[in-house]
Chain A
Amino acid sequence: MQIDELIDNFSFFDGWEDKYKYLIELGNKLPHLSDDKKTAEWKVPGCQSQVWIIPHYEKQHIYFEGDSDAIIVRGIIAVVFIIFQDKSAQEILNIDVEEIFDKLGLRDNITQNRRSGMLSMVDKIRYYATQSLGK
């Protein structure tokens, strides 16, 4: 799925119920990480739920795997991956993710608190991208 399609899908929802149901559906499609991958190394700092994101560098692009113990958060990871998946490091860094969250109507959930793990998920992805540029 592309981000425009996602924004389109989200625009049909009125209440939070439908939006969250759809997020949970997206999260359900996200493969679970095996327990041996849920290590401190890949953990995204945040105190409200556990989130892990693992980058894979292939050719010029970065692919991500991720998981969380909270289901709406898994949906948010799925959204974040639709935004950032299969892009070059530079493309990742060029994305104005807050604008996209705004269009999706998820700003409240994602940008509420950097320490709560939602936006620090994005910080982590940007960190991996920056790191790969420096290599």
Chain B
Amino acid sequence: MFNANDIRKDFPALSRLVDGRRNTYMDTAASAQKPLAVLNRIQKMYIEEYANVHRGSYWLSERATENYERARQTVAQFINAKDKREIIFTRNATEGINLVAATWGQYNLKAGDEVLLSRAEHHANLVTWQQWALKTGAILRYFDLAEDGSFIFENFKNALSERTKIVAVTAMSNVLGTLFPVKQISTEAHKVGAKVLIDACQFAVHKKIDVADFDCDFLAFSGHKVYGPTGIGVLYGKYDLLAEMSPYQFGGDMIEHVSYDKTTFALPPARFEAGTPAIVQAVGLGAALEYVMQYDFNDIEAYEKELINYTTDKLSNIPNLKIIGTASDKGGVFSFDIKGIHPQDLAFVLGKEGVAIRTGHFCAEPIVNLLGYNSLARASLGIYTTKEDVDEFINALNKAINFFK
């Protein structure tokens, strides 16, 4: 059964003291800690099953290939993709989005076409499309969210038109926590013939990804945020679409046949995985997703809902503290501002109390500025976050507030 106190014990880093203090890790939205199962899997792979993939016909290479491809199958299962060939391993979500922009975007966006984003996109999504819009002459359009961070369907719908070629949005804002209705977004976008790319980095930690239900054309997430290793990410794309797309990078393992004058390329996903991939990281990601999938996402969500309410209540009782992003449908991310205390100062003091939070613009500078801030503080929840963690965080906040009085 799902019990965060037990889960916390599966993550060795959380049982260690940090600078002599209990590790109260409230920065999962930036990157998650790793369960022992992932660390053991990585070590086992390097010791017992390691060689390059898709190349040798000796025992180790076959085992490595088998494990790497099994990880792809695990990812497909995790996001409910019907075909594992729709799963491309990337470095991270950023690379996944860049891949779509550089391949699909480069050949499908023309001057005057529109790319539609929300105002709350992470730089990974925003800057990528902004730069490809500049290169292609496409126009970047944004739709507004409500002041409390809520998604307003009318705003999205009104910004959508026959000129929209792609809608690229987050499924859950890393600043506001707002959950986006991705399925309805896809339905509406497809009506005007636009493609849909979902940035599922935050969503993947808190909710069940279901690409069959979402009906999105592309979806990207990073391994390190879902308790997996760094250096590995996932891009999902509908197979027919991927099959039409040109390669992203050129090199080994992505080819079908090479002569001195020309090359024919392999089918997806190999076409998009040039060079030796992050083999062990992919297998580590598979182990992380298996770790998460041993629990029912309904239980994960139910527990998180409870913890969100608990945290919201506690934060609401702190004078002069404003939670930024209070949409009714939100995941476990709490951006906040305390009147008179700079987030950087706050983070220094919290750090000394063993509490890790993020400060700054969270790589989503435009929305933080739009909300009227240069910098915010953010606490975020993971599968291992307990009420005790929240209590420690709140105690440290109160201590900091007293300190700066």
Contacts and interface: CB of A to CB of B under 8 A. Distances in A.
B343 interface: yes
Nearest to A23: B348
B360 A48 contact: yes
Contacts of B348: 20, 72, 109
B354 to A, nearest CB: 11
Contact of A20 (B19, B365, B403): B403
A49 interface: yes
Interface in A17-71: 17, 20, 47-50, 69-71
Contact of A71 (B19, B345, B374): B345
B347 A48 contact: yes
A73 B343 CA distance: 11
Contacts of A12: none
Interface in B361-379: 361, 365, 374-375
Contacts of B352: 16, 20
B140 interface: no
Interface residues of A, number: 15
B interface, size bucket? 10 to 19
B268 to A, nearest CB: 35
A72 B344 contact: yes
Nearest to B342: A70
Contacts of A72: 344-345, 348
A48 B403 contact: no
Contacts of B351: 108
Given A16-B349, A17-B403, A47 B342 contact: no
Contact of A49 (B19, B342, B403, B404): B342
Contacts of B335: none
Contacts of B375: 47-50, 69
Contacts of B19: 108
A49 B349 contact: no
Contact of A73 (B345, B361, B365, B404): B345
Nearest to B374: A50
B346 to A, nearest CB: 9
Contacts of A16: 349, 352
Contacts of A48: 343-344, 347, 359-360, 375
A106 to B, nearest CB: 10
A108 B360 CA distance: 18
Contacts of A17: 403
A71 to B, nearest CB: 6
B361 A47 contact: yes
A16 B352 CA distance: 7
Contacts of B343: 48-49, 70
A80 to B, nearest CB: 15
A70 to B, nearest CB: 4
A18 to B, nearest CB: 11
B349 A20 contact: yes
A63 B224 CA distance: 44
Contacts of A71: 342, 345, 404
Nearest to A69: B342
A72 B347 CA distance: 10
Interface string B318-359: 000000000000000000000000111101110110000001
Interface in B196-220: none
B403 A69 contact: no
Nearest to B399: A17
Contacts of B347: 48
B341 to A, nearest CB: 9
Contacts of B374: 50, 69
B344 A73 contact: yes
Interface in B140-197: none
Contacts of B361: 47
B281 to A, nearest CB: 23
Nearest to B348: A72
B293 to A, nearest CB: 34
Contacts of A50: 374-375
Contacts of B403: 17, 20
B340 to A, nearest CB: 10
18 contacts: A16-B349, A20-B348, A20-B403, A47-B360, A47-B365, A47-B375, A48-B360, A49-B344, A49-B345, A49-B359, A69-B342, A69-B374, A69-B375, A70-B343, A71-B342, A73-B344, A108-B19, A116-B360
Given A48-B359, A48-B360, 15 more contacts: A16-B349, A20-B349, A20-B352, A47-B360, A47-B361, A47-B365, A48-B343, A48-B347, A49-B344, A49-B345, A69-B342, A71-B342, A71-B404, A72-B344, A73-B344
Interface of B: 19, 342-345, 347-349, 351-352, 359-361, 365, 374-375, 403-404
